[in-house]
Structures are given as structure tokens and as C-alpha cells.
Amino acid sequence: MEYIIEVEDLNVYFDELHILKNINIKIPKNAVTSLIGPSGCGKSTFIRTLNRMNDLISTFRRDGTVLLDGENIYNPKVDVVNLRKRVGMVFQKPNPFPKSIFDNVAYGLRVHGINDKDVLAQKVEEALKSAALWEEVENILEKSAMGLSGGQQQRLCIARTIAVEPDVILMDEPCSALDPISTTKIEDLIHKLKKDYTIIIVTHNMQQATRVSKYTAFFLHGEIVESGKTDQIFLEPTDNRTEDYITGRFG
Amino acid sequence: MSRWTEEYFIEKGLLLTAISSIIIIGLIIIFIFKEGIPAIQSYGFFNFVFGMNWSPSEGQYGVFPMIIGSLGITLLSLLMAVPLGLLCAIFLAEVAPARMRKVLNPTLQTLAGIPSVVYGFFGLILLVPFMRAQFGGTGFSMFTASVILTVMILPIIVSVSEDALRSIPHEYKEASLALGATHWQTIKNVIFPAAIPGVITSVILGMGRAVGETLAIIMVAGNVVQIPGSIFDPVRALTSNIAIEMGYATGIHYNALFATGIVLIFMIIVLLIIANYLHYKKKVTIGGGYL
Amino acid sequence: MKLKYGLGVLIILIIIIALYGTINTESQYERIDIAGSTSVQPVAEALAQEYMKTYPKVKINVQGGGSGLGIRSVSQDIIAIGTSSKNLKTNEKGSLQEYVIGKEGIVIAVNVNNPGDDLSKEQLKDVFSGKIKNWNELGGPNAPIDVVVREDGSGTRKAFEDMVMGKNTKVRSDAIVQTSTESVKLTVKQDPNAIGYISLVHMSSDVKVVKLNGISPSLETIVDGSYKLQRPFMFLTNGEPKGAVKEFIDWCLSPEGQKIVVKEKVVPVTT
């Protein structure tokens, strides 16, 4: 099996707070891996370490390695901008820019130098189709993205992310702010996307994890307690804590 | 006192304060019109507004050169202060480390607090000779006045724009960076455009101060009633005219000065309408609207 | 909650009483407000200071604003004494009483680096009217003449125009306007090509004196009339002055007051 991301002995600190402890995990390519665990145990911090979004926080420190396709992303010579093009992110609360729908999806492309109108139009259409949003917006591309519903906005954010053709898509609880129908639509979308993209999804919803992901990692207090195939984690957890969490005794 | 009665009194009290400020402004405007209209009536509206000669001792009351003077000084100073102020605001909001901000912000606030007579004096002693050495002429000019005004309105533009930039939700910045944009691209394409309504507000405030500034301009603009041939020619602003001559004007001269005040009020209203229209347009297009 | 309200009210009351106390003590003083000519201002201030040393119960306030302001303010009873550095026009006289407390000269000043130092009245008129525009027409370097004048209501301006320009010639319209005799001096001090008129009282070594037809302005040349640009320094009151105002004006015209006048380089009236 091919692993696209390999994390070795990762420790993350914010000033004195030790948030992630000795994380070791390999993320398989072109599959969906979900990260489960109770609130505040470091899942979001972990994925933000994968695209170096934690660099924005001045108190962030880390040691250990994070390899993307064999290269350490924290090597000082690494172009962070390019890294973030390859590792995209969808946030918990849909955050489309206060621009038109078209400009939202085209944003990443323009930022990376693509300005040809036809190329942009074509790529925007492709991305919106991949995100299962095209039919709903093809006639209102010039309208502000703020006028869309929550579910539509989140799909727009996904379209925006895949427009730049990343290798990995990080999703931080993408459905927690949405209603069940929008959630279903997005889960269908994830199924569609996993053929071409590696997806890492943080979720509180264990049913969602079983529905969409092939692999799962269980985080507790900043550590990975157990990780492996989703079926195995949920049906035959090897660690007591995992079993307690899954059966709902806490979290 | 029951809670309902207390609410009632507080509400009505606040209403009273708000209304009284409107009433005071209304009274001032009525007074200015009352004193100024006789001059316009007897001298003629077009003669007054478009007349080229201001010479009270000869009964001439044309204010057009001074309208040009005021407009010129204001617009020229906005032209310099807005780009400079915006760049400074972007620097403070997005780039400067916290330590630098701690020093720069109080400095700017102090600049805003310096009384205009000090600026005027500084202009007279330092700027005017400098202008004369660099650009010839007497050193008293529309440009000199604009430079002083730029320094005076810069703090307003910087601090209000900075607030607008800082109020842009963090999520936009994160979304942009997560897509692989650089910090500067994020500022240029996301943060700044979203902050434009707030920036326009800062420009309106700066413009208000610029149009009304009197003393500093009197000391450095030259106070010559003429339409300037270039920005390095001396001019007289409407405000300066009122301040210089109000002390001793009598009769129709006195009324004419109030009529100058009327022209000033209209000029401000027109400028504000234009600025607020831009504010409205930008707000609707963006659809988010902050500040 | 109630305690805070009460405390707040108490503090406000204390402040009000304190203010009232200080303001009340003020009314034990006699107050005289003087405003007007910026040329007369230093003399008036010197007189006021000396007077208040001997008569501490009188508080005298001296301000500038120009002769025009002084004339109008005293006519409207806004101030007790208006000062003027020019003669009153007939339509300005109204019910005003005039007291000449001294005579003074208008000095023509140029920059210290200006090579010239003597002009005839004709030349002066031509310079200020714009007929002569360049210093080289007067034997100086090739540079434009920057003329500096006072604002419309200035007594110095009026006196200058009456005596030099005459009824029919106007000062050039592009002359730089400054609003006090001190700022005219400052302008001339900084601009090598400038020329302007200031009062003799304000004269200092910052700028250079221009002789008029070979005569230098000084106390002597004003007294003997050889320096032509002279004008009266006047105190004006609306109607007959009474009480403290009358006493002050009488003192200014007395030998003690006139001594101060001389000290300020102004020609006394009662020699």
C-alpha cells in the first residue's frame, strides 16, 4: 500500500502546552482516513500541522517529522505556498469569500498565476461539477457566494479547494455546521472524490466515520490510541479506551 | 422606581440627547443661512458663487477662486494621505509585530492630538522655506497647505482603516492561505477588498477634517484670492477667508462671510454625498459589509 | 448601587461649589479687556503689566486680531478698550473716543541677505503695485520680488496704503497675505526675495531695514517728521470711559505710562 503522508514522533507544543504527543501514523493514498476522538484532544491541531497552518500561531513549536511523498514538509527550504496547494483544507464553518461564486472557485487558480479566462471558466466548471454543485449554480455564477445556503457554501468551499488539484484534502468536521440532507450530499461527494484524492476527515460523528472512511485513527488527550482499518477499529478495538469511546461511555 | 419606569426614562433621556444635538446643528445652520442670505440676495447668486473678485473695500464678493482653493487643497491632501494611510494601516494590521504596533499606535494618536496651530507654525518655519528652495516661488502654496493637511489627517485614516482591516474575520485569511496564497496575495485579494467600506469611512472622516481646517492653512497657503495656475501657487480657502476677515467685517461684508459659510456647507454636503454613495455601492457589491 | 449614585452626585456638587468659589473671587477684580492692532499689542501689554504691578486689583487682558477687530469689538461693547494703528474713517468713528498714546513708524523690511537698503517712495509704490517685479530693476540680483502684505482689516496695511499707495493705486493682487505683523516678519526673514511692512515696535535684527529716501526709521526721525511712514497708536473707548478704564487710560497718558511707551520704541505724545 502506498502512503502519501508519514508522520514520525510528532510532538506539538503551544508555549508550554503539550498538545500532541509522539504521534506516529501513515496515511494511505487515495483513500479516506477519519480521525475520531472527544473534543479538544488534538485532532484539528494534527491536521493543521499537515499543511503548516499552525505556523500562523506564534506560540507553535514542534519536533518530529512529517513526510509528504517522502519529503519533510518542515524542511526550511520547503515552499509553504506550494505545500498548501498540494494539501488543501476545508474548514468546519463554511467560509466562502465575500465574492461571487465564480471568483471563489477561481481564487486559488488566479493566485497561482492562471489568468486566462477560458481556462478559468473550464476549471471552475469542472470543480463545481466534481463538488456536485454545478447544476445548482451554473446560472448564478456572478452572484455573491454569501447568498448560498450553508450546505451549498460548504460544497463551494470544497469546489474551491479541489480547483487547484491538490493531492490531499484535509477536512475539519466539514458537516458539523450542516443539516442532515447537506451532510448526506457531502458524504456522497467524499465517496466520489476518494478515487482521485487522499482525504483526511476529522469527525465527531462515528456513524459518519464508518460510512465514509476506510481507515480510522482514534485520538485521546493528544495521542493516537489506536489506528487501522475502520471496520477493525469499530468492530474489534484492541484498546479498552477505544471501546469505551465507541460505545459511548464518554466523549 | 420600577424597572419599566427606569427603562422609560433612560430611553427618553437618550432620545433627548440625540435630538438636542440635531437641534443644535439645525440652529447653527439656520443662523448661518439667516445671516448669509441677504448678501446673496443683494449681490446675486451667480455673481457670488462664480465671481472672480473678492474685494470687500470695492464691494466685490466673488468666491469662486476660494472654492477652487478649498477643493484643491482638500483633494490634493486626500490624494496623498489616502494611499499613504492605507499602506500604513495594512502594515499595522497585518505585517507589524506586536512590539512595533505598541509603539506606532500611540505615536499616531499623539499626532492626531497635536493642535492645528502647532502644525501651522511648523509649516511656516520649516515647510515653507523648504518648498521655496525646492520648487521656487514664495513657498506659500496650495501644495504646502496640502502637505500639512496630509500629516494632520493621516492618523485618522490610518486608525479607522486599521480597525476595518482587523475586523475582517480570521476565517477568510485562513481559507486564502490554505489555498496556497501568500500573505500579500491574501491582503490584496481578500482582506483589503472586504475592508473597503471601512476604508471609505476613514476617508470621509479625513475629508471632513481637511475641509474644515482653518488655522494651519492660513499660515502656509499664502491667502491670495486667485485661481492657482499650478499647485505651487498660493491660494485662499473658504475657511481661511472667513477666519481672516470675520473680526472686522461689517454690513454686507459681514453677510457675505456668512454666505461663504453657506457655500462651504454645500461643498461639504456634496463631497459627503459622493463619498457615502461609494460606501453604499461597495457595501452592496461585497454583500458582507463590515463597519 | 444607590451609594454610587449618591457619591457621584456629591462629587459633582463639590466641583460646582469649588468652581463657583473661584469664579466669585474673580469678581473682586476689575477686569479690562483690550484687543485690536497687532502692532499696538506689545505696547499695550507692557503698559498693562506695569500698571498691574502698582494696581493689583485690576486685571487687564490684551489680545491681537487687527485694528479692524479692535474697532468693531469696542463699538459693540465686547471689549473695554480697542486698539488701532491707523486713523479712523469717518464711518468708523461712531460714538468712539480716541486717545492717542503714541506715534510709531511703519518699517519696510527685506531679508538680511538683500543687498539693497534704500528706496524712494515712488519705487516702494511701484514694487508693491507690481509695476517693478524683479529685484534687478532696483539694482539687485535677478530674482522675482515676493511681496508680503497684511490682511484687509489690518491698521498697518491701511496706514501703509494711505501713505504709500495713495487712493488710486492698488497693491498687486498676488501678494502673499499674512495675518499678523510678526508673521510678516517671519516670512521676510526666511525668503531672500521678500519685502514687507512691519511696525517699528516689532523690528529686530532678523530682518533688514529699508531706508525711505535715505531716512532710517527711529524715534528721532519720527519725532522730527523726517521719516514719513508714521501713524498713531490709539486706544478707543465706546463713549466716555469710566472707573478703572478711565484710570488706566489716564495713567497711560501720564509721564509714568509714557515712559513705558518710550521703552517700547514708540514716540510718546507728551514729551
Write the residue in A93, A146, A160 that is nearest to B288 by C-beta.
Answer: A146
Residue C69, all three cell numbers: 477687530
Distance CA B29, CA B264 (A): 11
With an 8 Å CB cutoff and a minimum of 3 pairs, decide whether chains C and A touch: no
Q: Which chain B residues are within 8 Å of A160, Cβ to Cβ?
A: 175, 179
Distance CA A100, CA A104 (A): 6
- Encode pLDDT of C168-201 as tens digits: 888 998 899 998 888 899 999 999 999 999 988 8
Residue A135, judged by CB atoms within 10 A of its CB (0-12, 13-18, 19+), counts as exposed
* Among the listed residues C144, C181, C158, C176, the one whose alpha carbon sits nearest the alpha carbon of residue C231: C158
Residue B288, pLDDT above cutoff 50: no
Distance CA A45, CA A37 (A): 13
CB B197 within 8 A of CB B291: yes
Residue A10, pLDDT above cutoff 60: yes
- CATH superfamily, region B50-287: MetI-like (1.10.3720.10)
pLDDT at residue A195, as a whole number? 87
Q: Which chain C residues are within 8 Å of B132, Cβ to Cβ?
A: 190-191
B-C Cβ pairs (cutoff 8 Å, strict): 71
Q: Residue C15 belongs to what H/E stretch?
A: helix C2-26
* Among the listed residues C201, C196, C214, the one whose alpha carbon sits nearest the alpha carbon of residue C148: C196
Distance CA A123, CA A102 (A): 10
Among positive and negative, which fits the CA dihedral B208, B209, B215, B219? negative
Type of residue at C7: L
Distance CA C6, CA A23 (A): 63
Write the residue in C146, C153, C186 that is nearest to B245 by C-beta.
Answer: C153
Query: Does the beta carbon of C194 lie under 8 angstroms from any beta carbon of chain B?
Result: yes
Higher-confidence residue of C202 and B290: namely: C202
* Among the listed residues C237, C238, C239, C227, the one whose alpha carbon sits nearest the alpha carbon of residue C265: C227
Q: What is the ipTM of this complex?
A: 0.89
pLDDT at residue B81, as a whole number? 95
Average pLDDT value for chain B:
89
Average pLDDT over residues C232-251: 91
CB C74 within 8 A of CB B248: no
Residue B277, all three cell numbers: 454613495
Helices B98-113, B142-166: crossing angle, 10 deg rounding: 140
Q: Which chain B residues are within 8 Å of C71, Cβ to Cβ?
A: 248
Distance CA C226, CA C216 (A): 9
Q: How confident is the model at residue A180 (pLDDT cuts 50, 70, 90)?
A: confident
pLDDT at residue B3, as a whole number? 83
Residue C213, all three cell numbers: 529716501
**CATH fold group of domain C105-230:** D-Maltodextrin-Binding Protein; domain 2 (3.40.190)
Determine phi and psi for B7, rounding to 5 degrees. -55, -45
CB C148 within 8 A of CB C188: yes
pLDDT at residue C270, as a whole number? 66
CB A32 within 8 A of CB A212: yes
Q: Which chain A residues are within 8 Å of B174, Cβ to Cβ?
A: 53, 56, 91, 95
- Which of A180-194, A203-217, B274-288 is the least confident region? B274-288
Distance CA A1, CA C221 (A): 112
**Nearest-CA residue of chain A relative to B188?**
A111
Write the residue in C67, C151, C174 that is nearest to B245 by C-beta.
Answer: C151
Q: Is the CB of A84 less than 8 angstroms away from the CB of B176? A: no
Type of residue at A47: I
Burial C53-75 (b: 16+ CB within 10 A, else e): eeeeebebebbbbbbbbbbbbbb
A226 CA: distance to closest CA in chain B (Å): 28
Residue C153, pLDDT above cutoff 90: no
If you write DSSP's letter for every residue of C148-212 in order, what string do you get? EEE-TT-HHHHHHIIIIITTT-PPPTTPEEESSHHHHHHHHHH-TTEEEEEEGGG--TTEEEEEE
Average pLDDT over residues C233-245: 90
* CB neighbourhood size of A46 (10 A): 27
* Among the listed residues C2, C157, C161, the one whose alpha carbon sits nearest the alpha carbon of residue C68: C157
Query: Does the beta carbon of B44 lie under 8 angstroms from any beta carbon of chain A?
Result: no
Q: Give the pTM.
A: 0.81
Q: What percent of chain A has pLDDT over 70?
A: 99
Distance CA B69, CA B231 (A): 10
Q: Is the CB of C186 less than 8 angstroms away from the CB of B234? A: no
Residue B184, judged by CB atoms within 10 A of its CB (0-12, 13-18, 19+), counts as exposed
Write out residues 137-176 of B within 8 Å (CB-CB) of A.
Answer: 169, 171-172, 174-176
B273 CA: distance to closest CA in chain C (Å): 33
Query: Does the beta carbon of A164 lie under 8 angstroms from any beta carbon of chain B?
Result: yes
CB A94 within 8 A of CB A154: yes
Query: Any idea where the domains of chain B sit in the sequence?
Result: 50-287
Distance CA B4, CA C164 (A): 77
Q: Which chain C residues are within 8 Å of B245, Cβ to Cβ?
A: 151-153
Distance CA C185, CA C110 (A): 9
Average pLDDT over residues C78-107: 89
3-state class of A95 per DSSP? coil
Distance CA A40, CA A58 (A): 20
Higher-confidence residue of A34 and B291: namely: A34
Type of residue at B246: M
| Exposure on the CB side of residue B291, measured as CA atoms within 13 A | 23
Distance CA A199, CA A50 (A): 12
Report all structural domains of chain A as residue ranges with CATH numbers, in order of start.
3-246 (3.40.50.300)
Type of residue at C58: V
Q: How confident is the model at residue A172 (pLDDT cuts 50, 70, 90)?
A: very high
Q: How confident is the model at residue B290 (pLDDT cuts 50, 70, 90)?
A: very low
**Nearest-CA residue of chain B relative to C172?**
B224
Residue C162, all three cell numbers: 494711505
Residue A192, pLDDT above cutoff 60: yes
Interface test with A, best of B94, B170, B171, B179 (most A CBs within 10 A): B179
For A205, left (φ over 0), alpha (ψ -120 to 50), or beta? beta
- Encode pLDDT of B177-198 as tens digits: 999 999 999 999 999 988 988 8
pLDDT at residue C55, as a whole number? 87
Residue C86: partners with Cβ closer than 8 Å, 6 or more residues away: C37, C67, C155, C156, C158, C159, C162, C231, C232
pLDDT at residue C25, as a whole number? 58
Average pLDDT over residues B269-290: 73
Q: Do domains C7-103+233-268 and C105-230 have the same CATH topology?
A: yes
Residue C253, all three cell numbers: 497718558
- Encode pLDDT of B115-163 as tens digits: 988 999 999 999 999 999 999 888 899 999 999 999 999 999 999 999 9
Query: Does the beta carbon of B287 lie under 8 angstroms from any beta carbon of chain A?
Result: yes
Residue C14: partners with Cβ closer than 8 Å, 6 or more residues away: none
CA-CA distances (angstroms) from residue B255 to A225, B24, B37, B245, C151?
87, 21, 7, 12, 18
pLDDT at residue B159, as a whole number? 92
Are β-strands C146-150 and C176-178 bridged in parallel, bridged antiparallel, or unpaired? parallel
Interface test with B, best of C85, C89, C151, C171 (most B CBs within 10 A): C151
For B267, left (φ over 0), alpha (ψ -120 to 50), or beta? alpha
3-state class of B226 per DSSP? coil
CB C69 within 8 A of CB C36: yes
CA-CA distances (angstroms) from residue B181 to A79, A81, A117, B176, B177?
11, 6, 20, 6, 5
Q: Is the CB of C146 less than 8 angstroms away from the CB of B245? A: no
**Residue A218's beta-bridge partner residues?**
A36, A226
Write the residue in A51, A110, A147 that is nearest to B178 by C-beta.
Answer: A51
Type of residue at A137: V
3-state secondary structure B67-129: HHHHHHHHHHHHHHHHHHHHHHHHHHHHHCCHHHHHHHHHHHHHHHHCCHHHHHHHHHHHHHH
Distance CA C117, CA C212 (A): 9
Give, as one character, the DSSP assignment of residue A99. Answer: S
Residue A208, judged by CB atoms within 10 A of its CB (0-12, 13-18, 19+), counts as buried
Residue B28, all three cell numbers: 447653527
For C67, left (φ over 0), alpha (ψ -120 to 50), or beta? alpha
Q: Which chain A residues are within 8 Å of B180, Cβ to Cβ?
A: 81-85, 108, 111-112, 164
- Encode pLDDT of B206-243 as tens digits: 998 899 899 999 999 999 999 999 999 999 999 999 99
Q: What is the Cα Rg of chain B in Å?
A: 23
Average pLDDT value for chain A:
90
Q: Which chain C residues are within 8 Å of B236, Cβ to Cβ?
A: 177
Q: Which CATH number fits domain C7-103+233-268: 3.40.50.1470, 3.40.190.10, 3.40.50.150, 1.10.12.10?
A: 3.40.190.10
- Encode pLDDT of B16-73 as tens digits: 999 999 999 999 999 999 999 998 888 888 889 999 989 888 888 999 999 999 999 9
- Encode pLDDT of C14-39 as tens digits: 888 888 776 665 556 788 999 999 88
Residue C15, all three cell numbers: 466641583
**Nearest-CA residue of chain B relative to C75?**
B248
A111 CA: distance to closest CA in chain B (Å): 6
**Residue C267's beta-bridge partner residues?**
C103
Write the residue in B177, B189, B287 that is nearest to A84 by C-beta.
Answer: B177
Residue A121, pLDDT above cutoff 90: yes
Query: Any idea where the domains of chain C sit in the sequence?
Result: 7-103+233-268, 105-230
Q: Is the CB of B288 less than 8 angstroms away from the CB of A98? A: yes
